[in-house]
């Protein structure tokens, strides 16, 4: 039975604990044993926290025995991206610039999740300072893609995704600034939730671009995403019981998100849209010019903010970074304050126009990522290939960040391809209910 636990959803594990069929201690030991034995563990986990995990599992087991569980995920083991502060355990955000950085207190979302009974297995690898969508990190480690071990897993929450995909965590917690939850989720056939900026606390989270940074789960099901969102906030979960697609309207966004798609991605996306139509969704295809207008301003927004946060540390020790990531940061060095502010004013206008034009739709649909996972060796040796692959990887996901949306990424059923449901800001509960029904239709 223990091996089966490694592939079960977090929700099912929680139900097993509630029914007395699964003990949190045995469950945690099963995960710790799997982590210890797996050949890819050094490429997935930056460091593990077995003593903490065992203590938390023992407490969860004691609560379960007397019927005092704290949440549906009480006793379920999860992983944390290496930018969430963990008391007494190094938190380095995948960067040699932060080597040895050891916080004294957990990040607030980790404190919340712990208070809801989740078990912390450890910290997962990521791209340097979370500034790449590929998941490649020559400085620390690059996890393998679950579908092609010679390809990258997607980033920056690379280890968060692969810890789940390879059965080394029931759920992974990551961050998303331009696609860093959604890309590794779909490239590893998982569900990823990008929350609205401001929904979840960033206290104790190593920043990249604070105006875009968000926290979100990478998991095996939409139900898991809903339960984990609640745990991260320290509240009861949303009810997904009324999930249905009948009578809903969704827009396929006809914009740059549909250009230059890999044929496999395009075919998988259109097949997914057809399944949603069969399930009762009324599909309309429309363009929103303001999306392209905002997308064109990306170089004036992301890199300048990231360089504003990290520029001094980078220039004090530039050789500590992978050159491609370092140059991405430096791309924001010479952007003027006036251009940055003007770009934000335009984005705010574009956001308002987007919300007005999508008001009558339950969700907006796009392919999550336009390309399939690139080959790691080519990325390491071909500069142009790296630059182009990274830009394409984040092109579609960035729409959700620029428009300030809640976004749910679902696997299509074709390996390493996904469909994203873009919802309203702070509309995560409605989006998760739709996602639960869409997940069933796509299955």
* DSSP class per residue in 179-240: STTHHHHHHTT-EEEEPPTTTS--TTB--S-TTT-EEEEEESSHHHHHHHHHHHHTSPPPP-
With bands split at pLDDT 50, 70 and 90, how would you rate the model's confidence at 430?
very high
User: 372 and 414 share a domain?
Assistant: yes
- Classify each residue of 197-231 as buried b or exposed e, where b means 16 or more C-beta atoms within 10 Å of its C-beta: bebbbbebbbbbbeebbbbbbbbbbbbbbbbbbbb
Rounded to 5 degrees, what are φ and ψ at 167?
75, 35
User: 271 and 397 share a domain?
Assistant: yes
Please tell me the predicted confidence (pLDDT) of residue 420.
98
User: 255 and 401 share a domain?
Assistant: yes
- Residue at 441 is within a domain: no
Query: Could you say which of 233, 268, 288 is where a domain stops?
Result: 233
- Residue at 238 is within a domain: no
Please tell me the predicted confidence (pLDDT) of residue 419.
98
Q: What is the CATH number of the domain that holds 268?
A: 3.90.1300.10
Q: Name the one residue in this structure whose structure tokens are 């056939």.
A: 189
User: 188 and 228 share a domain?
Assistant: yes
In this structure, are residues 420 and 409 in contact, taking their beta carbons and an 8 Å threshold? yes
- Residue at 328 is within a domain: yes
Average pLDDT over residues 248-274: 97
Query: Could you say which of 174, 208, 233 is where a domain stops?
Result: 233
Range of the domain at 307: 249-436
- Residue at 442 is within a domain: no
With bands split at pLDDT 50, 70 and 90, how would you rate the model's confidence at 255?
confident
User: 226 and 257 share a domain?
Assistant: no
CA dihedral 130→135→420→347, nearest 10 degrees, is 40
Q: DSSP for 359-374?
A: TT-SEEEEES-SSPPP
Q: Using alpha carbons, list the distances in angstroms from residue 325 to 167, 184, 307, 399.
A: 29, 18, 11, 21
- Residue at 147 is within a domain: yes
- Residue at 391 is within a domain: yes
- Residue at 275 is within a domain: yes
User: 158 and 256 share a domain?
Assistant: no
Average pLDDT over residues 123-140: 97
Please determine, for residue 47, whether its predicted confidence score (pLDDT) is greater than 70: yes
Please tell me the predicted confidence (pLDDT) of residue 256.
87
User: 288 and 391 share a domain?
Assistant: yes
What predicted TM-score, i.e. pTM, was given to this entire model?
0.98
On the question of a cis peptide bond just before residue 4, with omega within 30 degrees of 0, the verdict is no
In this structure, are residues 205 and 83 in contact, taking their beta carbons and an 8 Å threshold? yes
Please give the structure tokens belonging to residue 193: 């939730």
User: 181 and 221 share a domain?
Assistant: yes
Q: What is the mean pLDDT of the chain?
A: 97
Tens-place pLDDT, residues 308-346: 999 999 999 999 999 999 999 999 999 999 999 999 999
User: 171 and 26 share a domain?
Assistant: yes
The residues annotated with a catalytic role in the active site are 81, 156, 180
CA neighbor of 186 nearest in space, from 367, 44, 9: 367
User: 282 and 370 share a domain?
Assistant: yes
Please determine, for residue 368, whether its predicted confidence score (pLDDT) is greater than 70: yes
User: 93 and 173 share a domain?
Assistant: yes
Tens-place pLDDT, residues 220-242: 999 999 999 999 999 999 999 88
Please determine, for residue 31, whether its predicted confidence score (pLDDT) is greater than 80: yes
Q: How many independent structural domains does the chain possess? A: 2
Please tell me the predicted confidence (pLDDT) of residue 242.
81
- Classify each residue of 60-84 as buried b or exposed e, where b means 16 or more C-beta atoms within 10 Å of its C-beta: bbebbeeeebbbbbbbbbbbbbbbb
Tens-place pLDDT, residues 262-285: 999 999 999 999 999 999 999 999
Please tell me the predicted confidence (pLDDT) of residue 1.
56
Helix axes 302-316, 323-330, angle to 10 degrees: 120
- Residue at 11 is within a domain: yes
User: 323 and 429 share a domain?
Assistant: yes
How far is residue 205's CA from residue 203's CA, in Å, rounded to a whole number?
6
Please determine, for residue 96, whether its predicted confidence score (pLDDT) is greater than 60: yes
Average pLDDT over residues 287-301: 98
Query: Could you say which of 203, 233, 263 is where a domain stops?
Result: 233
């Amino acid at each position: 039975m223990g091996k089966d636990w490694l592939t079960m959803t977090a929700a099912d594990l929680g139900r097993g604990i509630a029914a007395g069929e699964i003990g949190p201690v045995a469950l945690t030991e099963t995960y710790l044993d799997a982590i210890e034995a797996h050949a890819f563990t050094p490429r997935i986990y930056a460091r593990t926290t077995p003593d903490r995990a065992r203590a938390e599992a023992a407490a969860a087991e004691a609560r379960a025995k007397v019927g005092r569980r704290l949440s549906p995920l009480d006793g379920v083991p999860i992983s944390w991206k290496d930018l969430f502060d963990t008391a007494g355990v190094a938190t380095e955000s995948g960067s040699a610039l932060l080597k040895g950085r050891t916080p004294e207190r957990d990040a607030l979302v980790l404190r919340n999740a712990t208070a809801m009974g989740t078990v912390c297995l450890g910290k997962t690898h990521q791209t340097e300072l979370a500034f790449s969508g590929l998941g490649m990190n020559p400085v620390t480690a690059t996890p393998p893609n679950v579908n092609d071990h010679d390809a990258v897993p997607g980033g920056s929450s690379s280890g968060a995704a692969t810890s789940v995909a390879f059965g080394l965590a029931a759920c992974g917690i990551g961050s998303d600034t331009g696609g860093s939850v959604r890309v590794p989720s779909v490239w590893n056939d998982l569900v990823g939730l990008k929350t609205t900026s401001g929904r979840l606390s960033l206290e104790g989270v190593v920043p990249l671009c604070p105006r875009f940074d968000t926290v979100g789960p990478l998991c095996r099901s939409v139900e898991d995403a809903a339960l984990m969102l609640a745990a991260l906030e320290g509240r009861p979960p949303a009810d997904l019981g009324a999930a249905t697609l009948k009578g809903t309207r969704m827009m396929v966004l006809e914009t740059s998100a549909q250009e230059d798609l890999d044929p496999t991605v395009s075919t998988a996306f259109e097949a997914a849209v057809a399944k949603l139509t069969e399930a009762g969704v009324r599909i309309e295809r429309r363009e929103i010019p303001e999306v392209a207008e905002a997308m064109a301003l990306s170089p004036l927004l992301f890199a300048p903010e990231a360089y504003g946060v990290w520029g001094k540390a980078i220039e004090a020790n530039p050789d500590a970074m992978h050159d491609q990531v370092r140059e991405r940061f430096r791309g924001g060095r010479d952007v003027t304050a006036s251009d940055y502010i003007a770009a934000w004013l335009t984005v705010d206008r574009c956001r308002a126009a987007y919300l007005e034009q999508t008001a009558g739709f339950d969700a907006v649909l796009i392919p999550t990522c336009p390309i399939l996972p690139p080959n790691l060796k080519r990325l390491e040796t071909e500069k142009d290939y790296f630059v182009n692959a990274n830009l394409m990887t984040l092109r579609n996901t960035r729409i959700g960040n620029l428009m300030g949306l809640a976004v749910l990424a679902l696997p299509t059923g074709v390996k390493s391809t996904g469909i994203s449901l873009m919802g309203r800001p702070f509309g995560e509960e409605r989006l998760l209910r739709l996602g639960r029904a869409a997940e069933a239709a796509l299955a």
